[in-house]
A and B are shown apart, each in its own frame.
Chain A
Amino acid sequence: MIVSLNEVETTILKAARGAGMEWGLAEEAAQAAIWLVRCGLPWEAPALGVLEAAAWQDLPVLEGPHLRPRLAGGRLCPILCGAYLSDLGGGLALMEQVAFPILLLPFATRCACALELAWGDVSIGLIAGRASIRPKGARGLDAPQAALVTLRPVESELPEPFIGPARPRGVKVDARRWAKLQALEARTYVAASSRSRRSGAGPGSVDD
């Protein structure tokens, strides 16, 4: 199925809330997903993975420019930590045990200075909303976890080609994953009662 970007945004927003994320973070999750969609990068499995893992419930420990999980075996939520990175506009050097680190990219791209994010074999330069990914077609880009994500400001020119947000005419979704997102979304809905049917939208009408 093809869905619009607006549908991606509202579905991720509500699914994140349905999964238990605070509204303000759910908004971040939705914007992050949209950025990845626009760049043609993997988003659906990472977003669903983060929501299913509910990693934001483990608050991270901040030591200078390092973030790590509070508990042994814990994972950092890329939405919570990405939002922190975006809020600060930089200033982080190291994150340990990050779930779906690709979800950090949309946040890193909001930083004022050019940044390089690296995990595993992947290295991504980010500047002014655009990304340069090495090696091309890197495996591990959508890894479910990175033991270590490093961030450093880059001075030099970033290598071509850049990926930047485009305006796709909708995006194809995987039916199974989309259904799971919608199931999370449904957790924000309130079942009807006889009272809500009567008054939730105002008394009934006579059509004339």
Chain B
Amino acid sequence: MRAADAARAAPLRPPEMVMRLERLGSAHQTRLSFLRVLLRRMRAERWRIARERFELDARGVGTAVYRVDVGERVYALVAFGHQLAPEKRTDRVIAEEWDATFALTDGLPGEQAIARLMANVPLQEAGRYLASELVLARANRSVRLFEDVVAALAQGRQPDVTAVESTGYLMRTTAVYGNGKFGLADRDLVKDRPELAGPFQAEMLTVYLIRVFTVDLVEHLALSRGGVKAARLEPRLRRRFGIGNSTGLGMAPFLVKHPSLIDRWITARETALARTRQRERAAAGAIAAFRAALSGSHRLVAAWQTQDPEQRRRIAALQADLRRIERFADGPVLAGPRPFDAIYRFAEAELSLEGQEYAVTLVLEPNGEIVDDLAGEMAVDESVSFRIDGNMRCGELGRLVWEHCAFALEPDFAERNANARFWYVSEEKLEPRLGERFEEPGMEREQPLAVARDIMALSLALSEQPADRSIASFLLADPRHRRAARRVQIASQHAYSEIRDNLIDARLRPIDILRCKLAFFGATRFDPRSDRWLRITLFQGAPFPDELESGDWDRWPYAE
């Protein structure tokens, strides 16, 4: 199916439905998630990943280098292992030391470059980097599991499967920086390379290589401790180790700052869903693939653990939802017309939001041949939509607000609750934070995330203007509305550019914003630790480099 035909043929879910925060906060990984896109490319292009250097002592202190050959180009992960006093181990941004620190370099670094990295990478934000470095990251051990695994392997036995499943990773990253941060290469420098053209591909590659490093590290430590009797991880168990990640508010403003980019991500997923729903029949192979993904999902969701009461409730509902999908799919539906549309419609009518969005994931799984090309449409040149059309009249812009941004006109901003929060950047940590507007100082330094409030203010101002006044003249006289005017024009061209909720409302759950972005990354096992930060798992179940060429890994997240 040609992309253009398919997109025309099927209606996409409306933005008023898709862009509600409650639904965005119920998103799941799909086959368009960035880490799955990376693994497909890795396999298709037969990337070669080799451990170039591994000089770590019996405590895990030292340097390792992983080389990645991607056609004509080479990338490398430079890893530094450190000894960290237990009292200094924290996932929060206040940390100043970590168990391991990493840089992804463009090309294989020489001795001089490694020495320079060694002087900077362990300092993370306090170091400086060059355009020869693409990504900076760090990770901490998941202390109990890490030690248990080393101990088991040192004694020549495999670690306890239940313990492995319940944690899911040996280390978790606490920050992964790219795109020009601290002097790193700007995305512009590499975005024309096919392997890095998609969103966050350099970051995903870094995390994948960190995962390889964590397994090499436990096997190395076990060997140091146990000598000849030490065991290596059995491949199937090894794949159960993903990489953990702790994410907080630092990630939240991204979705608001990049409206036309977010529109691309959501449009790709919604187009994939629409194409899938248009499929007249499911071939036997597709039916088998759907059932395999569904059956794997029962296991995945059963292993999804959290202490957060709300998320526990949602997981329980999702488990029930999966059983209902299973019963529904056991009927004649998959052999009938438009089977995936029927599954999706059943989900939308009958299931929880988590279940509905999981159904999206499930129906995309067997349809790679008609949806995977959409991964190539998830990047955008944001400068194209930056210019304001100032020849537009005030009356027209006012109409666009009603037509495309009605969500901004819903809240009553005279109400305290609608204005309860404000986003700011903390001087101490240089990280985004959420404050209580009426209880904390600093609201005059508010970050521009109150999109609904600002569009509402624009709408009021426009209503007082002559309808035929140009936007250019209006904004010259009152530049306060410039940002909102730009967003409304972007929203009129990009249906999924705006989160259709009030981001300063008293009831806002910031983790909903984080979850949406993390689902696009490909995260699983969302584990909220408060309403403002959460832990996730990446790459759990994914093949290791030495396995990439064997087997069918298309639906690796559901494999045992």
Interface residues, chain A, CB within 8 Å of chain B? 1-7, 21-25, 27-28, 31, 56, 59-60, 62, 80-81, 83-84, 86-89, 110, 167, 169-170, 186-193, 195-197, 200-205, 207-208
B16 within 8 A of A: no
B389 within 8 A of A: yes
Q: Are A169 and B248 in contact (CB under 8 A)?
A: no
B241 within 8 A of A: no
Q: How far is the CA of A170 from the CA of B188 in the complex (A)?
A: 11
Question: In the assembled complex, which residues on chain A have CB atoms less than 8 Å from the CB atom of B424?
Answer: 189-190
Q: How far is the CA of A142 from the CA of B527 in the complex (A)?
A: 53
Closest to A5 in B: B186
User: Do A83 and B482 form a contact, CB below 8 Å, given A5-B186, A192-B428, A201-B249?
Assistant: yes
B126 to nearest A CB, angstroms?
14
Partner of A190, one of B93, B441, B484: B441
Interface residues on B, range: 35 or more
- Which residues of chain B (21-80) have a CB below 8 Å from chain A? none
Closest to B434 in A: A200
Number of A-B contacts (CB under 8 A): 174
User: Do A193 and B441 form a contact, CB below 8 Å, given A167-B188, A202-B533?
Assistant: yes
Q: Are B390 and A190 in contact (CB under 8 A)?
A: no
B536 to nearest A CB, angstroms?
14
- Which residues of chain B (374-416) have a CB below 8 Å from chain A? 383, 386-391
Q: Are B426 and A22 in contact (CB under 8 A)?
A: no
Q: Are B530 and A24 in contact (CB under 8 A)?
A: no
B140 within 8 A of A: yes
B244 to nearest A CB, angstroms?
11
The stretch among B177-185, B223-231, B542-550 that forms the contact with chain A is B177-185
User: Do A24 and B90 form a contact, CB below 8 Å, given A3-B183, A201-B433, A201-B532?
Assistant: no
Which of A31, A56, A190, A207 is the most central at the interface, judged by chain B CB atoms within 10 Å of its CB?
A: A190
Q: Are A23 and B427 in contact (CB under 8 A)?
A: no
Q: Are B445 and A187 in contact (CB under 8 A)?
A: yes
Q: How far is the CA of A22 from the CA of B476 in the complex (A)?
A: 12
Q: Are B477 and A190 in contact (CB under 8 A)?
A: no
B489 to nearest A CB, angstroms?
11
B101 to nearest A CB, angstroms?
17
Question: In the assembled complex, which residues on chain A have CB atoms less than 8 Å from the CB atom of B140?
Answer: 207
Partner of A4, one of B180, B439, B440, B447: B180
A130 to nearest B CB, angstroms?
15
Q: Are A110 and B130 in contact (CB under 8 A)?
A: no
Could you show 10 A-B contacts with beta carbons less than 8 Å apart?
Answer: A5-B186, A7-B182, A21-B479, A24-B481, A87-B471, A88-B390, A170-B183, A192-B429, A193-B441, A195-B439
B470 to nearest A CB, angstroms?
7
Question: In the assembled complex, which residues on chain A have CB atoms less than 8 Å from the CB atom of B533?
Answer: 201-202, 205
Question: In the assembled complex, which residues on chain A have CB atoms less than 8 Å from the CB atom of B131?
Answer: 4, 169-170
Q: Are A84 and B476 in contact (CB under 8 A)?
A: yes
Q: Are B388 and A205 in contact (CB under 8 A)?
A: no
Interface flags, B418-453, vs A, CB<8A=1, else 0:
000000111111110111000111100101100000
- Which residues of chain B (201-215) have a CB below 8 Å from chain A? none
Q: Are B388 and A5 in contact (CB under 8 A)?
A: no
Question: In the assembled complex, which residues on chain B have CB atoms less than 8 Å from the CB atom of A203?
Answer: 529-530
Not counting A87-B387, A201-B532, a sample of 18 additional A-B residue pairs whose C-beta atoms are within 8 angstroms of each other reads A4-B184, A5-B186, A6-B180, A6-B187, A22-B483, A31-B386, A56-B479, A86-B390, A87-B388, A87-B476, A89-B391, A190-B441, A201-B93, A202-B248, A202-B531, A205-B92, A205-B529, A207-B90
Question: In the assembled complex, which residues on chain A have CB atoms less than 8 Å from the CB atom of B142?
Answer: 208
Q: Are A6 and B181 in contact (CB under 8 A)?
A: yes
Question: In the assembled complex, which residues on chain B have CB atoms less than 8 Å from the CB atom of A89?
Answer: 390-391
Q: Give the 8 A-B residue pairs with the shortest CB-CB distance, closest first.
A: A87-B390, A24-B482, A6-B180, A202-B532, A4-B180, A190-B442, A24-B483, A202-B530
User: Do A196 and B435 form a contact, CB below 8 Å, given A84-B475, A205-B90?
Assistant: yes
Which of B180, B185, B470 is the most central at the interface, judged by chain A CB atoms within 10 Å of its CB?
A: B180
User: Do A25 and B441 form a contact, CB below 8 Å, given A2-B183, A88-B470?
Assistant: no
Closest to A191 in B: B427
Q: Are B186 and A62 in contact (CB under 8 A)?
A: no
Question: In the assembled complex, which residues on chain A have CB atoms less than 8 Å from the CB atom of B128?
Answer: 1
B472 within 8 A of A: yes
Q: Are A201 and B92 in contact (CB under 8 A)?
A: yes
Interface flags, B129-159, vs A, CB<8A=1, else 0:
0110000000010111000000000000000
- Which residues of chain B (64-114) have a CB below 8 Å from chain A? 89-93
Q: Are A87 and B483 in contact (CB under 8 A)?
A: no
Question: In the assembled complex, which residues on chain A have CB atoms less than 8 Å from the CB atom of B475?
Answer: 24, 83-84, 87
A140 to nearest B CB, angstroms?
26
Q: Are A208 and B427 in contact (CB under 8 A)?
A: no
Partner of A191, one of B93, B180, B428, B476: B428
Question: In the assembled complex, which residues on chain B have CB atoms less than 8 Å from the CB atom of A60?
Answer: 476
Question: In the assembled complex, which residues on chain A have CB atoms less than 8 Å from the CB atom of B187?
Answer: 6
- Which residues of chain B (454-504) have a CB below 8 Å from chain A? 470-473, 475-477, 479-486
Partner of B433, one of A31, A110, A190: A190
Q: Are B185 and A169 in contact (CB under 8 A)?
A: yes
Q: Are A204 and B92 in contact (CB under 8 A)?
A: yes
B189 within 8 A of A: yes
Q: Are A191 and B442 in contact (CB under 8 A)?
A: yes
Question: In the assembled complex, which residues on chain A have CB atoms less than 8 Å from the CB atom of B531?
Answer: 202
Question: In the assembled complex, which residues on chain A have CB atoms less than 8 Å from the CB atom of B476?
Answer: 59-60, 62, 80-81, 83-84, 87
Q: How far is the CA of A24 from the CA of B424 in the complex (A)?
A: 17
Q: How far is the CA of A190 from the CA of B424 in the complex (A)?
A: 7
Closest to A86 in B: B387
Q: How far is the CA of A29 from the CA of B297 in the complex (A)?
A: 49
